[in-house]
Chains A and B, each alone.
Chain A
Amino acid sequence: MTLRMAISELVRRLPIRQKIVFVAILSSTVALLLTLASFVAYELHEYGSTRSQALQTVARVIADNSTAALSFDDPRAASRTLVALRSESHVVSACLHDEQDRHFADYYRDGDAHVCTRETARLGGLGGDALQPVPITLDGQQIGTLYLRFEQIDIAARLFYYVTIFGFVSLTSLALAFLLARRLEKVISQPILGLVETARRVSRRDYTVRAPQESSDEIGLLVKSFNRMLDAIQRRDRQLEAHRDKLDGEVRRRTARLEEVVDRLRTEVQHRKQAEERFRYVAYHDVLTALPNRQLLRERLELAMRTARRERHRVALLFLDLDRFKEINDSFGHAMGDTLLKHVADRLVGCVRGSDGVTRVERSDEQSTVSRQGGDEFTVLLSRIAGISDISRIANRVLASLREPFQLGSHEIVVGASIGIAIFPDDGVDAETLLKHADAAMYHAKAAGRNDFAFFNESMRAAALQRITLERDLRHALERQEFELCYQPQVSLRDNRIIGVEALLRWRLEDGRHRLPGDFIPAAEETGLIVPIGEWVLRRACEQGREWQAMGLPPVKIAVNVSSRQFRKGAFFEAARAILDETGFPPHLLELEVTESSMLQDEDDVVRTLNKLGEIGVGIALDDFGTGYSSLSSLRRLPFDSLKIDQSFIEDLGVRTEAKSIVSAIIAMSHNLGLTVVAEGVRSESQRDFVRDQLCDVYQGNFFATAEPASRIVTLLEARRTDLPVV
């Protein structure tokens, strides 16, 4: 068992070449041994039978040849015949007996004398084996008998003889087989080794190699199949390569496209970022002067205050207003005004930079920030100051710098400025308060005679406090509906009839007293409360007009004052239209009165809003004409229907000589522009007569009626309906 396993293990381990040799030699040996065995067996058998046959033949011949000798009784001749047996070496003896089976002649191979008797011949014992006795006959008659004895063959010797020969033949055969097997092994193992080599090269991804096909047997078939497989693999490999190339190309193309897209995205992002920066810049900067705007100032101010609080030092805020900017704007136009503002900005920056040695004030400076608040208002923030003297020094330098004439084109312009100064934490601990206080100080400076600076002080603080109280009260008033409207009739100078009323706001206090608009409207404008208050006024006026209509009174226009702050909110038009829709008051009976100062700021917005209102039929009147700087020529561009001459001019009639000419000029020019002219503040008959003589269209004033509650207006209107002249 173990031996067989060992052999099978050995065979399994042997290389094919040795296996082939092994098998060839094994089969040769087996074949040879089989051949030897059968040959020996056959040969031994054959040999035996052949020899006995030969002996029989010899015996027969001897017997035949002995007939004559027996017939003629000649033993000597018989002996001579028997001697011929000498050539048969294995014949031991021959006895020839006569007819009566008596001894006649004999032969002994070894020359020893033996007696041939019938018994010895038959029974043996004389050495060798006895051959069947051969009868000698002549003409059917037995005339004698031949007894032959012969030596038994030596099988062992014979075998040895065969084996010797066979061994030689076997060795030769095996050698031949070995040589043949070696050749054959090459025939078989060579292509296999070729295959192995090819496979090894293929495994190194060289698909172009092919195993050599040297035969068309099974190995040839194997090689062919292998090569076909290689063909397939190569084809597959090429396809794969082609695919991979295609994929690579695709990937490269996609990558390129992606990179392109990424580039575009990057560019886009950059653009966006730039846009954002620009937007941010725009959001935080004044477009005209490129200075930080009020928003950025506020942030800087808060930052500076935080730092100051932490480090326990002071911050100064300078609020600056140009003294004669409105005049310049009116005289030289907005473009010139803008250019002036730019120059002013440059000088301001120069001043601050000069003092602090900061190169880029606007950007990196945490010491000082020059910003534009809007209009001709600027601020200078000084984040880190040593003392009051520092502030004064800088303020003086700014004023001195701005006093220098500006060269604008061919014009040399001189402006001045007033500066208000508020200090953190002394004058306020928040940006809002500081700004307010600086602004207040600036007004003081301006009031004190311009071209100077003023520090915020206690009286200013009291005023400010008062304003804050007022602001709170206003809110309450709006909530508690403490406001009410009075109406002052506007009378046609042509037929002395009431053609309209101006709605005037009254603030009825708890104690029954009224506060006049002049007391609280500025505060309302500053705080922005003017917007809800203005809307309330408009709504109330429209409702009143609708009531009057419902009462069947003759239609009258209602004029409502609109503050510039209301226009600043772009939504005024929408609000007005909504109110008209809700109340059902006809737009053409509504007239909005706008002051000249409204036109100065955000003019485009105002113009756009007014135009839209004009389009839906609302009348627009320019209020307080003559107090501002507006030139009549600029009125052309605006959608005014009427113009109200400021009451100061009417008051002056009869007091100042030039007043008459001014009023008549205004009336004439307005008519030239197609405007209806309203004279305000007519208190006397002479005044009324003068404006009537100057062909003024409408007058308004105490001469006819003061501002009256709505109920009183009803009476006046009813009187008109009866068509009785009022006066």
Chain B
Amino acid sequence: MIYKLVKFVVWPEPPSSTAPLHLCVYGADKVFNALTDVARGQRAQDRPLVVRRADERTLGGCHAVFIGTEPRVRMEFALRSLSGRPVLTVGEGTGFTKLGGMVNLVREGRHIRMEISRRALRLGGLNISSLVLALAQIVE
């Protein structure tokens, strides 16, 4: 999901940049593995994708970060540190957007629904394609 999402996100960088997009995973190892499988050798917006693990120090260098819900304190910390920064924050679990997360993935049966906080996106200076917004549930 993260990997698909970055294709629809516009960072406040020069669009000509060809630097790799850093997709980071914070905490959730299962996700990191899956993402590494999916995104290996993939490109988004003509930029190569780099999947890596991120800790509290390396979070700032990411373009998008999947933040695991456990433990809650780490999640809150990460979100707080990334607040107002151009890093797409993706998480899963209730309250993620309330804590300042940008895109929350909610599992509903077979489908995964997206909750998107436009306030958070605005704070981070990110734009996300309206096509995606049309698919998602917008929260404030």
Contacts and interface: CB of A to CB of B under 8 A. Distances in A.
A139 B131 contact: no
B135 A74 contact: yes
11 contacts: A67-B131, A68-B8, A68-B134, A68-B135, A72-B112, A72-B135, A74-B111, A80-B134, A139-B42, A139-B45, A140-B43
B114 A139 contact: no
Contacts of A140: 43, 46
Interface of B: 1, 4, 7-8, 42-46, 111-112, 114, 129, 131-132, 134-135
A691 B42 CA distance: 217
A65 to B, nearest CB: 6
A138 interface: yes
Contact of B7 (A69, A71, A74, A77): A71
B44 A68 contact: no
Contacts of B131: 65, 67-69
Nearest to B43: A139
Closest 3 CB pairs of A and B: A68-B131, A68-B132, A71-B4
Contacts of B4: 71-72
Interface string A114-151: 00000000000000000000000011100000000000
Contacts of B112: 72
A67 B44 CA distance: 14
A73 B110 CA distance: 11
Contact of A138 (B1, B7, B111): B7
Given A74-B111, A139-B42, 15 more contacts: A65-B131, A67-B131, A68-B8, A68-B129, A68-B134, A68-B135, A71-B7, A72-B112, A72-B135, A77-B134, A80-B134, A139-B43, A139-B44, A139-B45, A140-B46
Interface residues of A, number: 13
B7 A139 contact: yes
Contacts of B129: 68
Contacts of A67: 131
B6 to A, nearest CB: 9
A332 B43 CA distance: 194
A138 B45 CA distance: 9
B63 to A, nearest CB: 15
A69 B46 contact: no
Nearest to B114: A72
Contacts of B44: 139
A72 B7 CA distance: 12
A68 B133 CA distance: 9
A575 to B, nearest CB: 172
Interface string A54-71: 000000000001011101
A73 B134 CA distance: 13
Contacts of A65: 131
Most chain A Cβ neighbours within 10 Å, of B43, B44, B129, B131: B131
Interface string A241-276: 000000000000000000000000000000000000
Interface in A3-34: none
B132 A72 contact: yes
Contacts of B46: 139-140
Contacts of A73: 111
A68 B9 CA distance: 12
A80 B134 CA distance: 10
A444 B138 CA distance: 202
B81 to A, nearest CB: 28
A73 B113 CA distance: 11
Interface string A176-208: 000000000000000000000000000000000
Contacts of B134: 68, 77, 80
A235 B34 CA distance: 119
Nearest to A71: B4
A77 B131 CA distance: 9
A139 to B, nearest CB: 5
Contacts of A139: 7, 42-46
A74 B132 CA distance: 11
Contacts of A69: 131, 135
Contacts of A77: 134-135
Contacts of A80: 134
Nearest to A76: B135
Nearest to B1: A72
Nearest to B46: A139
A140 B132 CA distance: 18
A421 B111 CA distance: 200
A141 to B, nearest CB: 8
A72 B131 CA distance: 10
A684 to B, nearest CB: 210
B15 to A, nearest CB: 14
A65 B43 CA distance: 20
Nearest to A68: B131
Most chain A Cβ neighbours within 10 Å, of B42, B46, B129, B134: B134
B3 to A, nearest CB: 10
B62 to A, nearest CB: 19
